[in-house]
A and B are shown apart, each in its own frame.
Chain A
Amino acid sequence: MGRFLDLTLAGLTSGAVYAAVALALVLIWRSTRIVNFAQGGMMMITTFLGCTVVSHGGSYWLALAVAIAAGLVLGAVVERVLIRPVAKRPPLDAVVVTFGLLVGLQGIAGMVFGGTPQSYPPAFSIAGFQVGGRQILFSPNDLWIVGVVLAVMVVLAVVFRRTSAGLRMRATAFAPEVARLLGVRVGRMLTVGWALAAVVGAVAGVLIAPSTFVSPTAFDAVLVFGFTAAVIGGLDSPPGAVVGGVALGLVLSFVSGYLGPDIVTLGALVVLIVVLMVRPHGLFGAGARRRV
């Protein structure tokens, strides 16, 4: 029972991070109908920048700020330079471009930062809380991770539902042509959407870095998990991304605990295939426009 509880708590923590990555993918999918396969690479670069700040004596908080700022710039630049030219072309083109960006970033990171994994300090203690004389697998740092992800979700929900910028972004995602006629600067909204998504990714990267270490390919698996979470929830739905992330975190934690940590990525593949076989558009996805 204690083991089950530990695995559940660990699953909730990692699930929160997958939910954040999934949220970043969903933001981009909603606005541009593109799955950003470079998300893992963009996270990796911003986390490496944070890592550099820390290794030069900067604090955790300065590193977090640098990573967020870098994500903001990177997301906007990527949308303007790489995504806009392929936005109206067949979906295959966008897939190849974002995939190309992923490896390009991995190569550049390898050149600049080297291939050896670097450690990243946690924000708070990683020793588990004491509950009833027993140490559980949930630490102050895990609490921080879950708290930050919850805060990010609340902020995004408020921005989208309560502000006029959020309304314009939703209009852009929902009906770009109509939004343009009504005076929304659609292009600018898309850039903002990508920047916002990259910021969410940057935060997720800094949160997960202490447990995975940082290396050019460290986030390949995280990208797959984030994508799986987004698909479970339905690529269209932000609440779906959260539910999918937590569900996947729990499943993978049990896979790792009861079957062995080596096949966690394979576990994600199985979950992905099963969900897609049952519901090709995910749990919360709009099932409309199913072709033939």
Chain B
Amino acid sequence: MTETQAPQREAPRAPLWRRSTLLRHACFAVLGLLGFWLLSIALDPFANLQLAQIAYTAIAVAGLTVLSGLSGQISLGHGAFVAVGAYTAALLLENAEWSLAPVLVVATAGTALVGTLVGVAAARLRGPYLAGATLALAVGLPSLADYHGLRDLLGGANGLIVSPPVPPLSLGETFPLERWQSWICGICLVVVLFLLANLSRSRLGRDMRLVREDEDAAALSGVHVARTQILAFCVSAGCAGLAGGLFAIVNNLAAPGAFTLALSLSLLTAAVLGGLGSLAGAVYGAVIVTLLPNWSTDLAQQADLPRAVYANIPLVLYGLVLILVILAFPGGIQSGVRRIGRLLRRNRKN
């Protein structure tokens, strides 16, 4: 910890918060919580619901960004992990009647465990093999809900209904449910981003980047390649599981129709669009992929377009965005933000 030694130094070169990574991330986390709180009390219930959706999407995307951006593995099947988290949460809340916090912890841990199993298989696979295996996961796993042996437990194609979490009475009787949901998701998001930011700066994060750049070099310098890759899958799936648990309590539902290939796809779109490997990018990406379907529906209704057309606008846009960003702006939004930041700093020095 550098902050304890700071007073002994004569002339600190940089302010305290810039020298300690942990402290800097903690400052950001507090600011993030404050910003989220201000936003949630300024918005109406519907917008709060969207805020909650953005928050849990961002959690899943942040996990994906750690997997692809840091350790260089790809998953086309993160929607399946979201499904595991959602079903875990739904079963524990409805059948076992646990309270919310332990449910979310177990949804995260349980999905992380599933992710570790997938990661063990994934560590042996490269590029397209891994992409194909995770694609099969995304298409195959939701079908389990409708399997006749599990239909009674998992609710078949209709899925499970989840009763929404009630806001505590201390907040007042008229406290809107949507704001309480968005608070839960917002706190989870900030905690996850704080943990992932520290992970990315830690030794494990460095190992992951090394594995991504050159596996042989990483192995030669003493990094356990397979273990690092499996850990990345574990962390990333855990995030998706938490996102799934939050999905279940925000949408009051866990059903196979919600965890289609399109969900996995929108998560990947958000990660690529924001900039693979950047946590801030994960948030931008989540904002855009969450609001995009709503915007396109509104626009289409104003323009009197037929349903078949506007229902598919998000899909076409996801596809276009994936292709264009990779072809033209491989760094995504975050690389643009960094470039602007550099320009501003240079101007200030001059």
Q: What is A's interface to B at a CB cutoff of 8 Å?
A: 29, 34-35, 37, 82, 85-86, 89, 91-93, 95-97, 99-108, 110-111, 114-115, 216-217, 220-221, 223-224, 227-228, 231, 235, 260, 262-269, 272-273, 276-277, 280, 291-292
| Set of chain B residues within 8 Å of A267, measured between Cβ atoms | 140
Within 8 A of A (CB), among B164-198: none
Q: What is B's interface to A at a CB cutoff of 8 Å?
A: 68, 72, 74, 76, 121, 124-129, 131-133, 135-137, 139-141, 143-144, 146-149, 215-216, 219, 225, 260-262, 265, 268-269, 272, 276, 308-309, 311-323, 326-327, 330
| Set of chain A residues within 8 Å of B148, measured between Cβ atoms | 260, 262
- Cα distance A92–B261 when bound, in Å? 18
Once the chains bind, are B318 and A103 in contact (CB under 8 Å)? Answer: yes
Once the chains bind, are B312 and A110 in contact (CB under 8 Å)? Answer: yes
If A95-B131, A103-B319, A231-B129 touch, whether A276 touches B124 (CB-CB below 8 Å) is yes
Determine chain B's interface SS by DSSP, over half rule: helix
Once the chains bind, are A103 and B315 in contact (CB under 8 Å)? Answer: yes
Once the chains bind, are A100 and B318 in contact (CB under 8 Å)? Answer: yes
- Cα distance A266–B313 when bound, in Å? 30
| Set of chain A residues within 8 Å of B326, measured between Cβ atoms | 86, 93, 96-97, 100
- Cα distance A140–B121 when bound, in Å? 42
Contacts A82-B327, A105-B319 known; 17 new A-B pairs at CB < 8 A: A35-B131, A35-B132, A37-B131, A91-B128, A93-B326, A96-B322, A97-B326, A107-B312, A107-B316, A111-B308, A221-B139, A231-B129, A260-B149, A262-B143, A269-B140, A291-B216, A292-B225
Count A/B pairs, Cβ under 8 Å: 167
Contact of B268 among A93, A96, A104 (CB under 8 A): A96
Determine chain A's interface SS by DSSP, over half rule: helix
Interface centre among B72, B309, B322 (most CB of A within 10 A): B322
Interface centre among A34, A262, A272 (most CB of B within 10 A): A262
| Set of chain B residues within 8 Å of A276, measured between Cβ atoms | 121, 124-125, 129, 133
Once the chains bind, are A101 and B319 in contact (CB under 8 Å)? Answer: yes
Interface centre among A97, A99, A228, A291 (most CB of B within 10 A): A99
Once the chains bind, are B140 and A235 in contact (CB under 8 Å)? Answer: no
Contact of B136 among A235, A262, A265, A277 (CB under 8 A): A265
- Cα distance A276–B131 when bound, in Å? 13
If A102-B319, A292-B215 touch, whether A34 touches B144 (CB-CB below 8 Å) is no
Interface centre among A103, A106, A231, A276 (most CB of B within 10 A): A103
Once the chains bind, are A260 and B74 in contact (CB under 8 Å)? Answer: no
| Set of chain A residues within 8 Å of B316, measured between Cβ atoms | 103-104, 107-108, 111
